[in-house]
Structure 1
Amino acid sequence: MFDYKLLESLERIGALKSFEAASQELNITQSAISQRITNLEQRVGSILVQRGKTLSLTATGQALANHVIKVKQLELELKHLMNDSVKPHALKIVVNADSLATWWFKATKEFNLTHDVMFDIMIEDQSRGLKHLEEGLVLGCLCSSDKPLNGTRCYFVGNMEYRFYCAHHFYQRYFTHPDRQHSINQAPAIIFGSADKLHKQTLQQWGYQTHYPYHICPSSEGLAHMVTNGQGYGLLPVLQAEPFNEQLVDIFPDQPGIQVPLYWHYWHQSGSVLDKLSQLLVGERTKGLIR
């Protein structure tokens, strides 16, 4: 039988990537949490934490961390069924930034209030979020992959439409040149991060070379503000751009909108609360909010 205090310490170290941060969250000394991990490694007979410039869990350590995450979720589910309201139900999930900035909170507001849920949300690009579910760090994931992992369910939620926008004065400065390729080469783009490939891939699909200057802004709201302020051009969800229609120019009005599918993945047997959230996300009302 495992000592779950030791496993919880291991899981927190893996999630926070720091002995110090984990000790502060668990309200114990750094020496105490180090001793817990040493004891656990001795019991298991294997190194569980890779200590170096970047702290990470070994494969065995991650497997133990995944186990304690699922056990904690089952305990919370049991308390929920027994109407034990001492501790709100916690759901650790991954959601892409653009969904958070547009439709997510409208879709989940009533659910959140009805079920007394504490969301623990990780933000990740829609093309990369599934890795956190695979690693066992979260219970659910909203991403663009339609390939379910073993032991998970996967449902289509809806398509988010994106278009290239810029401010009027930015358009006049860069995009009135007769050669659109010249404009793309000169105009500063704005992308969410180095892992965000949608901007580049879309331009390549439309036949443009993709050597251009760019800002990196890892905030959906921040990226939209940079575009509306004329600091660059970029892909915005149509939902996010609508309130700023008078301030923005659709750079490629003759091109179709870029459709990015969203899928909800979650672990089997994670409890009725997660099942209810999943039913909400794949329902017609949510599809109407995403359009």
Structure 2
Amino acid sequence: MRIPFELAETVAAVVDEGTLDAAARRLHITPSAVSQRIKTLEEQLGRVVLVRSKPARATEAGVAIVRLARQAALLEHDTVAELGADADEGARTAVPLAVNADSLGTWFLAPLARLSQRHPVVFDLHRDDQDFTAGLLESGTVMGAVTSRATPVAGCRVSTLGAMRYEAVATPAFVERWVLGAAIAEALNAAPVVDFDRRDDLQNEWLRAMGATARPPRHFVPASNDFATAVRLGLGWALLPTFQSAEPLARGELVRLGGPPIDVPLHWQQWNLRSPLLDAIAEEIVAEGRRVLAPA
């Protein structure tokens, strides 16, 4: 069986854009042509590749087709570059990557900026917790990911980046209100805490290490820079990456609550596909991670 690239590309476009209409605009064809391509591929495979929901999503068979489309686009880019041919004017290869919020908010964009100056690429970033980004690799949604997972995802290779170091901090006024004069574990049982979202277990891990037993009031602030701002404004205490806490600590705007810092090891995983572009992306990201992160 042969799968025409045009059909696989159409499935990927629908998954990326969320609707047939949006995919049609991206591909410069009509929505009915998109629908006909999907129908043709499904008849050829004997399987449904898309769930027609809003947004549209790939079935298990569709995930394999999307992965094929992304790999084919990557190989096409590498071949055009190797031949020294000029790409279509304005055309850039889309590279989907997954990254955790704290890396995205601190060190991750700098290597991408350098890469975009040397290669005709655009980056489609998917933000998720480092414990979950590997799932986006498994589904074929992204080509590479910053992840806490050291074991390679099937069909991927892994490189160690380093560790993101976190320290528990709060404003001096917050500490004076909630902590002074009280045993630290007792105070932490009542002092409001800032969590990124309901999957963020970092603060709970530190609370357990400090001997706190209750579940204190929580604010949820699901954006890295806004999360740090919430702590600096005294909304609650939290663990911040040293990237974000060093300057406020030096200025006296924040103080450490004590206790052990928490290091979160980070790894770079990408498809095990020999591609000069993908290798260049990995080289830049891994070098930056090892330069700025704590030793794993």
TM-score where L is the length of structure 2? 0.88
Q: Which residue of 1 aligns with 2:80?
A: 79
SS of 2:162's equivalent?
strand
Unpaired segments of 5 or more residues in structure 1? none
Structure 2 residue 234 is the aligned partner of structure 1 residue 230: yes
Give every structure 1 segment of 4 or more consecutive aligned residues whose post-TM-superposition deviation is greater than 6 Å: none
Distance 1:185 1:13, change over 3 A: farther
Q: Which residue of 2 aligns with 1:247?
A: 253
Tell me how far 1:272 sits from its aligned partner. 0.9
SS of 2:65's equivalent?
helix
Distance 1:163 1:44, change over 3 A: same
Distance 1:83 1:230, change over 3 A: farther
TM-score where L is the length of structure 1? 0.89
Tell me how far 1:210 sits from its aligned partner. 4.7
From 258, 262, 265, the counterpart of 2:266: 262
Let me know the Cα RMSD of the aligned residues.
2.2
Is 1:140–1:265's contact at 8 Å kept on the other side of the alignment? Answer: yes
Unpaired segments of 5 or more residues in structure 2? none
Q: Which residue of 2 aligns with 1:290?
A: 293
- Looking at structure 2, the residues matched to 248 and 204 of structure 1 have their Cα atoms a distance apart, in angstroms, of 22
Structure 2 residue 170 is the aligned partner of structure 1 residue 166: yes
Distance 1:72 1:188, change over 3 A: same
The Cα offsets for residues 223-275 of structure 1, whole Å up to 9 and x where unpaired, read as 01111111122111011111211211111x2x221001110001112411211
- Looking at structure 1, the residues matched to 289 and 173 of structure 2 have their Cα atoms a distance apart, in angstroms, of 36
SS of 2:277's equivalent?
helix
Q: Which residue of 1 aligns with 2:154?
A: 150
Distance 1:90 1:52, change over 3 A: closer
Structure 2 residue 38 is the aligned partner of structure 1 residue 37: yes
From 86, 94, 101, the counterpart of 1:90: 94
Is 1:157–1:263's contact at 8 Å kept on the other side of the alignment? Answer: yes
User: AA paired with 2:272?
Assistant: H
Structure 2 residue 278 is the aligned partner of structure 1 residue 274: yes
Q: Which residue of 1 aligns with 2:61?
A: 60
SS of 2:12's equivalent?
helix
Q: Which residue of 1 aligns with 2:187?
A: 183
Tell me how far 1:102 sits from its aligned partner. 1.5
SS of 1:186's equivalent?
coil
Is 1:190–1:217's contact at 8 Å kept on the other side of the alignment? Answer: yes
Is 2:18–2:54's contact at 8 Å kept on the other side of the alignment? Answer: no
- Looking at structure 2, the residues matched to 215 and 19 of structure 1 have their Cα atoms a distance apart, in angstroms, of 38
User: AA paired with 2:208?
Assistant: Q
Distance 1:113 1:257, change over 3 A: same
Deviates more, 1:1-10 or 1:118-127: 1-10
* Residue identity (%): 29
Tell me how far 1:204 sits from its aligned partner. 2.2
SS of 2:75's equivalent?
helix
User: AA paired with 1:271?
Assistant: S
SS of 2:105's equivalent?
helix
Is 1:161–1:258's contact at 8 Å kept on the other side of the alignment? Answer: yes
